[in-house]
Structure 1
Amino acid sequence: MGAEALPNDLEAPLVLGLQPAGLMDYVAPVDWSLLDRLPGDRGGSIPVQKDELEHILKEVKTHILESPGLPPPLKTMAGGSVANTIRGLSVGFGVSTGIIGAFGDDDEGQSFLSNMGFSGVNISRLRKKKGSTAQCVCLVDASGNRTMRPCLSSAVKIQADELTKEDFVGSKWLVLRYAILNLEVIQSAIQIAKQQGLSVSLDLASFEMVRNYRSELLQLLESGNIDLCFANEDEATELLRGGQDVDPEAALAFMGRHCRWAVVTLASKGCIAKHGKEVVRVPAIGETKAIDATGAGDLFASGFLYGLIKGLSLEECCKVGSCSGGSVIRALGGEVTPENWQWMYKQLQMKDLPFPEIRN
């Protein structure tokens, strides 16, 4: 499959994200009656085929029209955990970022490219390929929990042998999301990144991914090549396989044995983090009802990485992450609105934490 690289006319970004497949999100508010009709666990992320995706989208549109209490229709934006994190770093924190991956020669691919470029992300490492761009339906219930159904199998994506040293040279951080379908390209990216002196951040993606492909994940962590690991409480539970009563601190300790920094996010209870022998617990910041939890962990990672880049303490990194994660749950989708960035800046100011110049 042919690939067309975009011109590389910008200096190396400080933070690179590897998202093998460009992705467009369709975000919609729904109630449990629709979620109960879908296969898989509520709150999880199960890949679907294109015909299934189209069926779900049709069901969602009908559901919204027949549910007067729900806000109107689908919200569309560039998506994917890595895209959310590096877009947040760029827009909200002014950090130079870039993205490595591929997008299709379709309308969705052009939309993904435009959204990321407009957000200030260096898109020169994206390859354009003949074929379709990945899509994902994000269904949000009244409690703000999201159920995701991504369509990835038929989408174009970058391959391991397409990665080059030039993609990584000059950057300092590589941001990854664990996915078994992308394991080969993830391993290749880590190898090149380490050769070029980059630190590597890994998000555990979803409890289903950890549950189904735990042995491969353990090998990745035990390689010693992951510098920073993020997990939410459900993912941490699956990682240790100790049942529902697994202590998040035990999962944190396990992650911390293999990574320089380890973080377990605990939703409304805040987070716990470990660096060396230091362990901190930080409560959630900002009282707000979650409209949509989509991207909460991704934007937490944005803030935490910003803290590391700025040389903040572990506790301060967690506080910035908490503010950043809290900013995205105040509206639908994994992209923070300008109003909610302003909310985050005020929270940082109240906590006497560093932040970039407030943007209008």
Structure 2
Amino acid sequence: MAETKYDVLGIGNAIFDVLVQTDEGFLARHGMTKGGMALIDEARAASIYQDMGPAVEMSGGSAANTIVGIASLGARTAFIGKVKDDQIGGLYSHDIKAANVAFATAPATGGPATGCSYILVTPDGERTMNTYLGAAQELMPGDIDPAEIAASAIVYLEGYLWDPKNAKDAFLKASGIAHEAGRQVALTLSDAFCVDRYRGEFVDLMRDGTIDLIFANEAELHSLYQTSDFDTALAQLRNDVKLGVVTRSEKGCVVATKDGITAVPAFPIKKLVDTTGAGDLFAAGFLFGLVRGAGHENCGRLGALAAAEVIQHIGARPQVSLKALAKQNGLPV
């Protein structure tokens, strides 16, 4: 097999995060479903932003957060996602490159503004997202560089890509190129509401081998198989995909293959501040372990460590070197 240029290449919606700590009353006032991700238009984005208190603004997007986490662990990474050539698009591009992630997607010159997600964090640390996709919807199959995909050990995709039609085509193109080159393709289910929208298509992607590895949390897994029984859903997952990883918040995670199940505990934390990015950073640690051949248990431990770091502060990207943190905790880097 040809040499790899990147350990993991992510494809996702390039979204700028606007985070604010608020109360349940704000969610009720704006008719938001707590803990979910709703797609919104520019007018609703403006009305939410107007009503928000002082915010923390930073680059985000599910797959991009994962890729930044993998880079923080010391692996070679790249990201494909669409911004507009506006001020926020410039900030986004600067942030991801500053995190040592290769980012060469040409910005859109016309059309909607760079995508933004208005994230409301309640006192219990739960995050509720309202996402204006904007320019992220302009990601096209033409933005997928076959040489870059073929040179990446793992191609990582987010379920949210299933919302814009062109992004879906870009996703399928990337998966085909990756498999032709003998690479692996991973998918995060992103959100239980996202699974509700595309359940049948996601199951097909797993069963037809478009996807080799799936990341899900408990809510997404239950939604995928429309059962409230965890063991039933897990058995089905093991049947449908080569490798499935299910995160269970404070209960840790379960790594499932056709051969068996490995349970890995969560990493202890001092205080839960903000769950934004917990799943993204878990995937970062797990994928890093996978490309390093660390074994499923250590992959799960690396994921738990990265998730624990990100939920103890505001925002979905690590604030310390995850590589140094892993070393301190005796994990393989």
How does the TM-score come out when normalised to structure 2? 0.92
Q: Aligned to 1:130, which of 109, 129, 136?
A: 109
CA distance in 1, matches of 2:16, 2:88: 6
Candidates 201, 224, 232, aligned match of 1:250: 232
Helix, strand or coil at the partner of 1:85 = helix
Offset at residue 38 of structure 1 (A): 2.4
* Pair 1:204-2:184 in alignment: no
Verify the 8 A CA contact 1:252 1:263 in the aligned structure 2.
no
Shift of 1:280: 1.2
Whole-angstrom distance in 2 between the partners of 1:194 and 1:340: 30
Are 2:158 and 2:190, in contact at CA under 8 Å, matched by a contact in 1? yes
Root mean square deviation of aligned Cα: 1.8
Moved more, 229-238 or 267-276: 267-276
Query: How far apart are 1:164 and its partner, in Å?
Result: 3.4
Conservation of the 8 A alpha-carbon contact between 1:275 and 1:314: no
State whether residues 105 and 129 of structure 1, in contact with CA within 8 Å, keep that contact through their aligned partners in structure 2.
yes
- The corresponding residue for 1:148 is 129
Supply the AA of the counterpart residue of 1:198: R
Counterpart CA distance in 2 for 1:338 and 1:164 is 31
Tell me if 1:49 matches 2:41: yes
Aligned length, in residue pairs: 324
Determine the C-alpha separation between the residues in 2 that align with 1:340 and 1:232. Answer: 22
Residue from 162, 166, 170 that aligns with 1:185: 170
Instruction: Name structure 2 gaps, 5 residues minimum.
Output: none
Task: Give the Å deviation of 1:12.
Answer: 2.6
Which residues in structure 2 correspond to 1:8-27 (within 5 Å)? Answer: 12-19=5-12, 21-27=13-19
* Amino acid in structure 2 at the alignment position of 1:109: G
Distance 1:285 1:232 in 2: 16
- Give the superposition deviation at 1:162: 3.8
2:241 corresponds in structure 1 to 259
CA distance in 1, matches of 2:279, 2:264: 15
- Mean CA deviation greater in 228-237 or 208-217: 208-217
Looking at structure 2, the residues matched to 154 and 49 of structure 1 have their Cα atoms a distance apart, in angstroms, of 12
Kept in 2: contact 1:146–1:293 (CA 8 A): yes
Please, what TM-score do these two structures have when normalized by structure 1?
Answer: 0.85
Gaps in structure 1 of 5+ consecutive residues: 1-10, 62-72, 356-360
Query: Are the aligned partners of 2:69 and 2:322 in contact in 1 as well (CA < 8 Å)?
Result: no
Distance 1:156 1:321 in 2: 29
Q: Does 1:168 align with 2:149?
A: yes
Distance 1:343 1:94, change over 3 A: closer
Aligned to 1:3: none
Letter in 2 for 1:30: T
